[in-house]
Structure 1
Amino acid sequence: MKKTVVFIFLSIAVLLVSLRMDYFSDRLQGESLAVLAQFLSIVGDGITLTGVCVFLLVFGIVFKKGHIRNSGAYGISVIIAASFFVHLFKITFERPRPDFGNTDILFFLKNPFIFDFSGKFNSFPSGHTTVSFALAYALSRSYPRLSPLFYAIAAMVGFSRIYLGSHYPSDVAGAALLGLGVSMFLFSETRKKHWQTWLFISLAIFISFFKLGSLLLFDVDEAVFSEATREMVGTGDYITPTYNYEPRYDKPILFYWLMSLAFKLFGITEFSARFTSAMFGTALATATFFFVKKLYGQRPAILAGLCLLLNLEFFVYSHSAVTDMTLAFFITAALYSFYLGYQMSSESGVLSSELNNKWYLLFWVFAGLAALTKGVIGILFPAAIIFIYLAASRELSKVKLLLAPRFLLIFSAIAFHWYIAQFYINGWEFFNAFIIKHHFQRYTEVISSHSGPIYFYVPVILAGFFPWAAFLPNAIYRGFKGKGIYLFGAIWFLAIFIFFSISRTKLPNYIMPLFPAMAIITGLAINDFLENGLKKIWLYISCIFLMVVSLALAIASLFALTQAKLEIAFPPVFFWGTGISFLAIALFGFAMINEKHRLVSIGGMAAATIALLIFVRTYGGPPVNLYLQKTLYQYSVYAGKNLLEDGALATYNINQPSIVFYSRRKIFKLDGESGLRELAAMKNSKSLIVITRKENIQELEEKFSLTLLNTDGKYAMLANTR
């Protein structure tokens, strides 16, 4: 375990250094050693290395050299395993090779693909380097004296990929670590025990990062957070976030800091804007897996982890440049920490010990980070859930352990320092905007027209937690009848659900922090179903829900393919892929009735859900993104490139923050009569571009003699003649 932790931290350090080297990769390229580099690339090709291993295997068999035979067999095994993970991560990260690094994002949107057969957009990780280091480790086990030679050849293969311009340094560094990691695992004594764990973590990375950077930022929230972070990096002001170079008090600072770090590492791109959410999505799924594994073992952990990973809500918000996944992680980590400390004190009978105090300390650390991510709910939710749980368990006396002065001091140091600094700098303006508007008014009034009925989150959960929502009623029922984590999870779920159902302002992302609770109690319910079965009423509810909903969605997909006239042009493969995935879920739901097929049915539903998410993201996301964002993106880039430095970019009667992000300049937001007066004063003093809705064209042309540059979809771009 210690070796694994050390390897992980060293890997992170190496990757961070290599990312900085990416900016200088062109200096590592050349022509003088091109022939040698091409030869080394041939040596490191998977086919070449497989041929070497096959030769060793055959030679060992023919001449009865067991040592050589085993070396060949082990080599083939590590090459196959390494190649699997190489292609998994190539599909996931979809990084353009250096020669195509400036490819416009519209290329990906107009040409969606799962597998890149052209080889232009699969830079990370380097396949040559991965298999070379994987084989170097395997052969070094058999021939330790030759290990320097094996690793030297692998390193030269990696360098040749950079020298030829086929990969960035970070592609090669990541590949070397991946190859070593895969090979080390295959040779470890615990591989049979831990292979499911590492496979789950790989799935978590795949789901959270899959095609993360190949969609334009969506308006409004993604673009606002990304632009505010871009301005933070540009101005160097890491205390007061700004949007359009004016203070933005909507959210606390931590998420901006994390996004700033990603921008520093990867550059200002869509991938780096969403990196923080994907990272915490992976961390949340992994933490949930290990939490349940510690309490109940491997299979319940896998089931709970799959319930959390494989649903639309998790997928969307692990791919969104918004705070919700980060907040969900910190709230969840705080609650996991409390429960582990509580369980240890309950099992030992000792109220306070060094070990459970460490867990309680972690509770306050994570709660402080949650409060620094989204304000008071970062501590309100964990505190309320714990209080209700201890009251229901008749152990309220244990609250005192959490309220030790040193814990409160640590929480205050983490959570309050930025608030104090912000109030000192911006005073009551900050207090009124952040505390009054975005806490009290957002809960008691409708903000930005985001209202909804009290049952708003019921369909959100049914759709967002599909297909596992079929088991949720039974899971909640079991939760309130049970004790321990069952009761804890049910209270966690219900507390957040009721809180936001009462709130006047409603959005689907608000309930993201209850998804880990749903995943745990649902995963445990499914595990109990596999082991002991269900009462017929619960079995029929689950099966009927899966069959009816999935069949309806499958029919809707196929109907839309042949009959519906949609405003958004989805490709046929989207309807076929989603329709077949829904149909598969329906069939597996029906198969669950038979006791012999239940485990296969759950596994089949998980596989079908993975396929569904892949088709939705690959072939559904781009048409929607093009429909909503393409025109604004093109207008913004045009304005940013063609306006003079003292020119003005304005919007009229629209609120689309992506214009600020993609134009890389401050805009003048003009609305109503006051906006028209400002526009009249502006049009004769400087070069001007106005982006607005199509219905405003005639008004702007007639009143201000603006020239129509382009109109496309819902939007139009006009300019004066200066």
Structure 2
Amino acid sequence: MPRIPSRLIPLLLILAGALFYFPFLGRVHLFDWDEINFAESAREMIVSGNYTRVQINFQPFWEKPPLFFWLQVLSMKVFGIGEFAARFPNAVVGVVTLLVLYSLGKKLVDKRFGLLWALAYFGSLTPHLYFKSGIIDPTFNLFIFLSVWCMARAVSAYGTSTATRQAVFSGLFVGLAVLTKGPVGGLLLGLTFLVYWAWQRFRPVLRLGNALAAFGCALAVASVWFGLELIKNGFWFFEEFFRYQVRLFSTPDAGHQQPFYYHFVVVLLGCFPMSLLAIRGFFPGGRAVRLDWNSPAADFKSAAANLPDSKSERAEDPAALFRRWMIILFWVVMILFSIVRTKIVHYSSMAWFPVSYLAATVLYQYVNGRLSWNRWLTVGIALIGGVLALLITALPLAGMHSADLIPLIKDRFAAANLTAPVDWQGWEWIIGTAYGLAIIGILWFRSQQPIRSMVALFLATPLLLWFVLPTIVPKIERYTQGAVIDFYEAKQGQDIYVEPIGYKSYAHLFYFRKKPPTNLNSYNEDWLINGPVDKPVFFVTRNINIDQYRYHPNLEIIGEEAGFVFLRRKPAFKGVE
């Protein structure tokens, strides 16, 4: 790799984040459900002035704690309510994540390893993409990763004052994770620690006082909100909150019943290209090169000396010890969320951190000439990279010939989506083709320029996304939800009711800018359809659901576009139009 002065590397990472994470955040509407759901909760905090209660549709929302919504509120206070503000916190977290990975990698091995670690995360598909989203997981994952890092250091410093300090920091980050997404934050660290302890044959690895310090700190931080809710509203809110957590683990949400191996496929394909390198990192030869134990960079060098009866670990370097934590964390995440009945892409995103670490160990060995390149890596990169390139090439071509595809699609709603008026320029397919040619070139010159080829490999995907997000994604979004969001935005400021019927959505809340209801009957769908409504009601449904409403005497179809059907119900008394 090019020699870069250490003092410039953090600035280089900040610049990379600024150039790739922040542009185009507001170029496309928020996507239903999660992005709109979370942004709407933040908006309702601002509208209602209640920043302690998480709400959706101005009713208690017990699925998530408020920390991420608070970050979105701060962003909306600065940038205004909109897509850019909703996604801005994760872009900041993206820059922080790159700096964290570099800093920890530098302490663990050296600055080259730290830079490769940051590069692996920066240059992989879904890890990069999610920092440009408005969902909770990038922020939550960073807190969990830092809690595992601090716990690993606490265990390594067994019996010293450092262990206590690191245990407290671990508890701090767990508490922040719980405030971000709930009890699963504590569960991930707890399971990872228990597996590590079992790996050590249940020998003492953390003193009871340190464990209590970590737990107490986590509880104190989480109580900033949970304790306040308990004091203000009693136990009913917690009963609903924990009932939802249990239901999420035990019952599949509609549309999210996936096979057991689902998350393994998601990580393999979504974390391209670092996922392929990480596979090699699971084997002993994939370890990062050992450190000189006299080096001041080895923060974990006290581990073998302080772990009781750990003679077998005295020869292990800090990177090898931390590698063990990363492997355990990976399997804890993958097995836990494979067991969970509801399976969504980002549920396994915590595994991206250990995957990036394992990929970095392989990269480090490879660029230092200590590990040979395997032919299956070439095949894997060519296969997955080629499929991705073909997909990005095919999407614009399919869009430009959407009329020819409609007769081939059996789903009436999906077929109608393709009738949306979308203006393709005709050159967008070049982006995917250029990416495919870049993958071929990287693999072709890999043997002559191994270091430059690896750097190019992990820069190719961010460059791909940099062009895809402002040019192709907005057009795809026009097919999937553009018509309905246009409808909601056109109704902003009107004294009416607007509701979807026949399917679940949060888009009407955010894009209609719904105000706190003055008539609680409006929460009742039957009242809106059949009751004595006091103002006009507009409904949105999908063409596959319209038959149950088409001949209803109170409903009038006023339009249909791209699979969405718009209906109106006039108020029950005269004088209101």
Do both share a fold (TM > 0.5)?
yes
Amino acid at match of 2:206: V
CA shift digits 1:166-209 (9 cap, x unpaired):
xxxxxxxxxxxxxxxxxxxxxxxx98332233212221333332
Partner residue of 2:141? 328
1:441 to 247, 251, 255: 247
Aligned counterpart in structure 2 of residue 585 of structure 1, from 416, 439, 461: 439
- Match of 1:453, SS? coil
Q: 1:667-722 CA deviation, whole Å, 9 max, x = no partner?
A: 89999xx8456412145x42222222245557646323544443221213233452
Equivalence for 1:47: none
Give the Å deviation of 1:453. 0.7
Cα distance between partner residues in 1 of 2:188 and 2:459: 33
Summarize deviations over 1:276-311 as a string: whole Å, max 9, x none. Answer: 222222212221111001111121111111111122
Q: Which letter does structure 1 place at the counterpart of 2:205? A: K
* Letter of the 1:648 counterpart: Y
Q: Please state if 1:351 is matched with 2:159.
A: yes
CA distance in 1 between counterparts of 2:242 and 2:136 reads 17
- What code does the residue aligned with 1:534 have? L
Cα distance change of structure 1 residues 192 and 651 upon mapping to structure 2, 3 Å threshold:
closer
Q: Secondary structure at the match of 1:219?
A: coil
Is 1:280–1:326's contact at 8 Å kept on the other side of the alignment? yes
Which of 110, 122, 130 matches 1:317? 130
Indicate which of 160, 184, 188 corresponds to 1:377. 184
Are the equivalent residues in 1 in contact too, given 2:62–2:241 (CA < 8 A)? yes
Whole-angstrom distance in 1 between the partners of 2:7 and 2:169: 26
Q: 1:38-57 counterparts in 2 under 5 A? A: none
SS of 2:32's equivalent in the other structure is coil
The residue type paired with residue 359 of structure 2 is T
1:545 maps to which residue? 380
Distance (whole Å) between structure 2 residues aligned to residue 198 and residue 394 of structure 1: 44
Distance in structure 2 (CA, Å) of the matches to 1:562 and 1:661: 32
Query: Is 1:225–1:322's contact at 8 Å kept on the other side of the alignment?
Result: yes
CA contact (8 A) 1:709 1:717 kept: yes
- Number of aligned positions between the proteins: 516
- 2:492 aligned counterpart, secondary structure: helix
Matched with 2:406 is: none
In structure 1, the residue matched to 2:565 is 716
Rounded Cα–Cα distance in structure 2 between residues aligned with 1:697 and 1:496: 41
What is residue 34 of structure 2 aligned with on the other side? 221
Which deviates more from structure 2 when the two are superposed, residues 197-206 or residues 373-382?
197-206
CA distance in 1, matches of 2:444, 2:46: 53
SS in 1 for 2:368: helix
SS in 1 for 2:428: helix
Return the offset for 1:555.
4.4
Deviations, residues 150-169 of structure 1 (Å, cap 9, x unaligned): xxxxxxxxxxxxxxxxxxxx
- Equivalent position SS for 1:399: coil
Distance 1:399 1:317 in 2: 35
- Cα 1:240–1:497 change in 2 (3 A) is same
The alignment status of 1:264 with 2:114, answered yes or no, reads no
Question: Given that residues 553 and 579 in structure 1 are in contact (C-alpha distance below 8 angstroms), is that contact kept between their aligned partners in structure 2?
Answer: no
Matching residue's letter, 1:452: Q
Alignment correspondent of 1:57: none
| Secondary structure of 2:275 counterpart | helix
**Alignment check: 8 A CA contact 1:252 1:375 kept:** yes
SS of the counterpart of 2:206? helix
On the 8 A contact 1:479/1:486 being kept in 2, the answer is: no
| Structure 2 SS opposite 1:218 | coil
Counterpart of 1:25?
none
- Paired residue for 1:211? 24
Q: 1:555 to 1:367 in 2, by over 3 A?
A: closer
Q: SS state of the match for residue 238, structure 1?
A: coil
Report if aligned partners of 1:220, 1:656 keep a CA contact under 8 Å in 2. yes
Given that 2:154 and 2:166 are in contact with CA atoms closer than 8 Å, whether structure 1 keeps it comes out as yes
Matched-pair contact (CA < 8 Å) for 1:551–1:582: yes
TM-score by length of 1: 0.66
Kindly indicate whether residue 379 of structure 2 is the aligned counterpart of residue 525 of structure 1.
no
Distance (Å, rounded) in 2 between the aligned partners of 1:419 and 1:479: 46
CA shift in 2, pair 1:626/1:237, >3 Å: same
* C-alpha distance in structure 1 between counterparts of 2:85 and 2:462, whole Å: 24
Query: 1:562 and 1:424, CA in 2 relative to 1: closer, same or farther beyond 3 A?
Result: closer
Picking from 282, 294, 309, the partner of 2:107 is 294
Displacement, 1:637?
1.8
1:92-131 aligned at under 5 Å gives the runs none
SS in 1 for 2:565: strand
Of structures 1 and 2, the larger Rg is shown by 1
CA distance in 1, matches of 2:377, 2:230: 52
Whether the 8 Å contact between 1:288 and 1:516 is mirrored in structure 2 is: no
Does residue 473 (structure 1) correspond to residue 308 (structure 2)? The answer is: no
Provide Cα deviations, 1:561-595, integer angstroms capped at 9, x if missing partner: 66784438565443211221133123313433x2x
> Where does the alignment leave 5 or more consecutive residues of structure 2 unmatched?
288-315, 403-417, 571-576
Task: Find the partner of 2:485 among 626, 633, 658.
Answer: 633
The answer on whether the counterparts of 2:164 and 2:210 sit within 8 Å (CA) in structure 1 is no
Judge conservation of contact 1:470–1:543 (CA < 8 Å) in 2.
no
Asked whether the 8 Å contact 1:653–1:670 carries over to 2, the reply is no
Q: 1:292 to 1:202 in 2, by over 3 A?
A: same
1:338 aligns with 2:151: yes
- Tell me, yes or no, if structure 1 residue 453 matches structure 2 residue 259: yes
Contact 2:393 2:428 in 1 (8 A): no
Cα distance between partner residues in 1 of 2:391 and 2:544? 33
Partner SS state of residue 283, structure 2: helix
Q: Distance in 2 between matches of 1:687 and 1:211?
A: 36
Offset of residue 263 of structure 1: 1.8
CA distance in 1, matches of 2:135, 2:49: 21
Q: Is the 8 A contact 1:497 1:514 kept in 2?
A: yes
Is contact 2:99–2:118 with CA below 8 Å preserved after alignment? yes
Secondary structure at the counterpart of residue 282 of structure 2: helix
Q: Give the aligned partner of residue 602 of structure 1.
A: 454
2:199 matched to 1:386?
A: no
Cα distance in 1 for residues equivalent to 2:192 and 2:323: 13
Task: Determine if contact 2:556/2:567 at 8 Å carries over to the other structure.
Answer: yes
The structure whose residues are more often helix, as a share, is 1
Offset at residue 499 of structure 1 (A): 1.1
CA distance in 2, matches of 1:352, 1:395: 20
In structure 2, relative to structure 1, the CA distance for the partners of 1:404 and 1:192 (3 Å cut) is: closer
Matches within 5 A, 1:379-418: 379-393=186-200, 396-400=203-207, 403-418=210-225
Q: Displacement, 1:421?
A: 2.9
Q: Which whole-Å CA distance do the structure 1 matches of 2:214 and 2:273 have between them?
A: 40
Compared with structure 1, are the counterparts of its residues 598 and 220 closer, same or farther at alpha carbon in structure 2 (3 Å cutoff)?
same
AA matched with 2:352 = F
Letter of the 2:276 counterpart = A
Note the C-alpha offset of 1:509.
Answer: 0.4
Q: 1:563 to 1:391 in 2, by over 3 A?
A: closer
8 Å Cα contact 1:244/1:660 also seen in 2: yes
Tell me if the contact between 2:391 and 2:432 (Cα under 8 Å) persists in the aligned partners: no
Alignment of 1:490-569 (within 5 A): 490-535=327-372, 539-558=374-393, 565-566=401-402, 567=418
Contact 2:66 2:179 in 1 (8 A): yes
Shift of 1:650: 2.9
Cα distance, 1:478 vs structure 2: 3.2
CA contact (8 A) 1:680 1:704 kept: no
Q: Which residue of 1 is the match for residue 428 of structure 2?
A: 574
In 2, the alpha carbon distance for the partners of 1:359 and 1:351 equals 12
CA shift for structure 1 position 251: 0.7
> Residues 193 and 559 of structure 1: is their aligned pair in 2 closer, same or farther, counting only changes over 3 Å?
closer
Report the Cα offset of residue 525 of structure 1. 0.9
Task: Measure, in 2, the Cα distance between the counterparts of 1:302 and 1:393.
Answer: 31
Give the whole-Å Cα distance in 2 for the aligned partners of 1:545 and 1:428. 52
Per-residue deviation, residues 523-553 of structure 1 (Å, max 9, x unmatched): 11111012134356xx111111112332344
Matched, 1:429 2:203: no
Tell me whether 293-302 or 710-719 shows the greater mean CA deviation. 710-719
587 and 420 in structure 1: CA distance in 2 versus 1, 3 angstrom threshold: same
Tell me how far apart the structure 1 counterparts of residues 203 and 23 of structure 2 sit (CA, whole Å).
Answer: 44
Q: 1:653 and 2:502 equivalent? A: yes
